[in-house]
Structure 1
Amino acid sequence: MKSIIVLTGILLCADFSYGQEALTGSKAYDYLQAQRELARAPQRGAKQPPLDSLKKAEKILQDALVYYHRPEVMELAKKNDPLFYRKSDISFDLAVVELKLGKTDSAARLLEYPLKGKFGNAYAGALRDDALFTEVKKDPVIASLLTKIEVAGRTFESGALKTPYKPDISEDEKIAGLSKLWSEAKYNFAYFDHIPQVDWDKLYLEYIPKIRSTKSTVEYLNVLKLFCAKLQDGHTDVWGSDPGLTDLTAHRPPIRTVLIENRVFVQEVSQDSLEKTGIKPMLEIISVDGIAVKEYADQYVRPYQSGSTVQNVDVNTYTYRLLNGPKTKPVAIMFRDTKGKNFTRILPRSGYSNVRARSSFGFRILPGNIAYVELRDFESNKSLNGFKAAFDSIATTNALIIDVRMNGGGDSGYGWDVLGHLTDKPMETGYQTSRIYSPLRRARGGQVEFEQVGGGNGGWAANGKKLYTKPVVVLTSGRTFSAAEDFSVVFDAMKRGTLVGEPTGGSTGQPLMFSLPGGVMARVCTKRDMYPDGTEWNAKGIQPHVFVKPTISDFQAGKDTVLDAALVLLKK
């Protein structure tokens, strides 16, 4: 069938063949994203690509817009936000190509739609920072839209409080930083009912003198962290974003530690030279800078962690931030090897070369023809693509173990697309709610209310082409967090297999990011998530069906307690 429409003054034509398979929102989204990527390909590697490459990209994106305007696609977009917003992204992508082709007027008309949309501020930011848009910003309509966006943006993020780092910012800036954090949480934080003992306004008053008494920006940052930790949420925290502040607070040797049976061990070493000096997994950490490790953690690390559960705080304390400190200050660590011998090493927190990056995906076949897949993050599509690439091998196995114990999250859709290979039915992804604030409702005596902002839209589509039907086990831990928990929720709700391991971190939800004075960033959780049946799991974690914790004896013997339990379960 041939479709012809006129959009933004350009005649667009495209041929589409209607297949027999029913079109879904997810399929339409995937197609449009693939077309965007296809359009980027001929432009890569050059600031000003060759004319034929630009023409090719232009045609791909024009056809993508025609596809979007098919009646059935637009109908699906009404109930699918990711699909709905593809029009904005594609229009922006095409505007960039038109500018490179010298078609400024065409680019201006294309930019009107995304700039008028819900995320106009994000597109305006791209125009503000790129010289490519210099001429198009002179267009009267575009200039007016940018002014309107700038004025609206100043209401919440004017830039006045985004002051740079200095060793000791002014007292006024420090109080403004505390006040900004207090106000953003007051109006946006999703879980005040989880901390009924906290009077947020009273706490704010108590922290003003604490802020005033700080003698440096680092001290100010630490007080903000203590304040934020009272909210007890894993997606609500404060950190130094300016390099100068990061250098004073957030460097560590290239090792990861873990808490097992109330003792601390080296779990990962990501630099070969360090390993050659004898620093390797299985070593126990006895003390840090001359202080017993648990005492050190309780005094210098744990109080500053804002976590939703005990396991979430433990992971932040003992895995992610135990050895954090100034870039130029080495840390003295006393280790104990498996034979009981103690030794101390003074390790620099910086200056390491050839640090190994953790891969996002791992796969191997275990005895009994059992597929073992590690999905270590959902920060990009690497874990999903790894799973897709390995699927033909996975399909021949007798059972599948998916390990998300090290997965700290990212984009939930990548995980759900993996689960789409385990079922032939749409998967319910649960419900999400967020606070509604109306000044008028409040003036009339109204209380805090929540509205549904996601879920209940027919679910996430199954893969439809490749299906794995054998038994499946998913491994979880306290490090399983955010989007990896969204993965675990859906797996649990679809009754596809067994969760084995420890409760997850217990926190997801869209965080609101904002700047604070002194080179500091903060975020506040704005969204509540629940199972498809309405059961909330924040501050609890996803509970495994079979609870298994690692043991010291297994760990130091090179055994994986949780994986072994999963293998035993599958054999039964």
Structure 2
Amino acid sequence: MRKILFLLFLSLGIRTTAQIDTVSNISDTEKLYGLSLFWKEAAYNFAYFDKANINWDSAYQAYIPKILATKNTWDYYRKMQQFCALLKDGHTNVNVPGFKLVKGVMYRPLSFSWLDEKVIVTNVPKADSLTIPLGSEVMKVNDMPVIAYLEKEIIPGISASATHQLWNDAVRSLFNDADTNTVFRFTLKTPAGKIIYHTTHQRNRRINWAYPLPNTPWKRFRYEKLPQGIAYLQLNTFDTDSVVYDFKQRLPELYEAKAVIIDLRNNGGGNTGTGIEILKYFTSQKNINGSTWRTRQHIAAFKAWGSFIKDEELEKRLKQNPFNKAWTQKSYDISRGKYWYSGDTSSFYNDVAGNKLTVPLVVLIGNSTASAAEDFLIALDDLKGRAVTIGERTYGSTGQPLFFYLPGGGSARICTKRDTYPDGREFVGYGVKPDIEVKRTAEDYIKKKDAQLEKAIELLSSKMK
């Protein structure tokens, strides 16, 4: 009997590899505390309530019964992510506790991209390459139109600042909250217009992709010498000073180059100063200006005074007491959470001595260029005419997040800092627009073509003639 039970448990273990843990459950007290902690920190510190366009207190009250109705920790975190997503900010997130909630590793069985407002297949396992053509469009998921499926099942939990960021993240998250037992039925339209059907599920083994991804494995820095003396630098992160070291190691070759391409399309950010250290080598300008920022400020006594000022009485009070006008306005604004501390424009002194890289420069950007990489572009904008940017709008989200832990092993962050160009132009929620827009297309994936890089080479070639 013991052997039979052992075989049964072994069998169950095989079938339940990489399954979502729907058993673990923190207490209602912990759940309510986590919700309240997130609500409180956002209420005091969040920088973009005007963009969220939400009554935060009402939303908090509405989520109390939803949170208390969750049956396990996994479901609790899904609801917390939906609560967070109401703030519509890419630097404000709830992070699930990882392997405390998910057993095993899961690999998505298809790769999708959001291209021309369609969900396009951009990679498939080798085993499926003969039946699913690259560039096929997803029409339905589980018999539901794909857009409706994303809006119902995925988008409510996505925290995003810009519309394109929302859809990109939604498509990338299509398999989220699913384990290896969850079956997906896809209706696809091939590039030739044929309707095909494909049933699949997440895998517990690595996928052997039919179309190897470029530049794999991932590296923080890549250098390549292109034809015509063009140097290509791919900077995939600003999260470590080692990127600056990597860059400096290539300076002898860069000084020989006739033009330079900096590729930031997959740079998700890190430390703003890291990118600026590299930018210093491309200009003789002594002071490089970055973004201007502000953050909400709370002063308890002023909130107390301002609470006695009714909305309809404000204008009357300002006129009746001109000598106390500033005090009255400040009290009123603080009591409504609308008082701001304005920081200085970020300014960086260019202390790099010696020869500078003065050759023509192109910077490639895209939807995944985010945070500190966007800060790099704001500083680049201060160097008028120094570079041409090519590609697509950037991620559209930056700022200084406040990090804190949540019950059950998860964590959260809330954006506390609001950045703009020095002249007040907004880019959070929109993305930095390239000088020359070159959008990715399904045809590019089919032909394995990098149209953005090709445009950069074409432009630089014309400048070098």
TM-score by length of 1: 0.64
State whether structure 2 residue 63 is matched by structure 1 residue 207: yes
Name stretches of at least 5 consecutive residues in structure 1 with no aligned partner. Answer: 1-164
- Which letter maps to 1:324? N
In 2, Cα distance between equivalents of 1:242 and 1:305: 17
Q: CA deviation at 1:517?
A: 2.0
**Partner residue in 1 for 2:112:** 257
In 2, Cα distance between equivalents of 1:438 and 1:166: 44
Percent identical residues: 35
Q: Aligned residues, how many? A: 401
**Partner residue in 2 for 1:162:** none
**Partner residue in 2 for 1:243:** 99
TM-score by length of 2: 0.77
Match of 1:192 among 49, 53, 56: 49
Between 1:543-552 and 1:286-295, the stretch displaced more is 286-295
Match of 1:322 among 140, 163, 174: 174
Mapping of residues 117-156 of structure 1, within 5 Å: none
Q: CA deviation at 1:371?
A: 2.0
Mapping of residues 334-413 of structure 1, within 5 Å: 334=186, 342=196, 344=198, 346-352=200-206, 357-413=217-273
SS of the residue aligned with 1:541? Answer: coil
The one-character-per-residue Cα deviations of 1:246-279 (angstroms, maximum 9, x if unpaired) are 449x94438653211123334468xxxx547649
The answer (yes or no) to whether the contact 1:434–1:528 under 8 Å persists in 2 is yes
Name stretches of at least 5 consecutive residues in structure 2 with no aligned partner. Answer: 1-21, 210-215, 307-330
Q: CA deviation at 1:339?
A: 6.0
The answer (yes or no) to whether the contact 1:372–1:403 under 8 Å persists in 2 is yes
Between 1:490-499 and 1:560-569, the stretch displaced more is 560-569
- Which letter maps to 1:501? G
- Which letter maps to 1:263? K
SS of the residue aligned with 2:457? Answer: helix
Mapping of residues 129-528 of structure 1, within 5 Å: 167-195=24-52, 197-247=53-103, 251-253=106-108, 256-267=111-122, 274-275=125-126, 278=129, 282-284=134-136, 286=138, 288=141, 291-319=144-172, 321-329=173-181, 332=184, 334=186, 342=196, 344=198, 346-352=200-206, 357-425=217-285, 426-445=287-306, 446=331, 447=334, 448-453=338-343, 455-456=345-346, 458-495=347-384, 496-528=386-418
Mapping of residues 27-176 of structure 1, within 5 Å: 167-176=24-33
The one-character-per-residue Cα deviations of 1:282-327 (angstroms, maximum 9, x if unpaired) are 45362555655434322221121111110221221123x2222345
Distance 1:471 1:282, change over 3 A: farther
The answer (yes or no) to whether the contact 1:297–1:322 under 8 Å persists in 2 is yes
In 1, Cα distance between equivalents of 2:283 and 2:145: 50
Q: CA deviation at 1:281?
A: 9.8
- Which letter maps to 2:80? L
- Which letter maps to 2:377? S
**Partner residue in 2 for 1:556:** 446
Greater relative CO (CA pairs within 8 A, separation 6+)? 2
Q: CA deviation at 1:520?
A: 2.4
In 1, Cα distance between equivalents of 2:207 and 2:367: 30
The answer (yes or no) to whether the contact 2:261–2:362 under 8 Å persists in 1 is yes
- Which letter maps to 1:261? D
**Partner residue in 1 for 2:15:** none
In 1, Cα distance between equivalents of 2:388 and 2:430: 18
- Which letter maps to 1:323? F
The one-character-per-residue Cα deviations of 1:145-173 (angstroms, maximum 9, x if unpaired) are xxxxxxxxxxxxxxxxxxxx962323332
SS of the residue aligned with 2:288? Answer: coil
In 1, Cα distance between equivalents of 2:175 and 2:63: 27
- Which letter maps to 1:301? I
SS of the residue aligned with 1:177? Answer: helix
- Which letter maps to 2:136? E
Q: CA deviation at 1:477?
A: 1.3
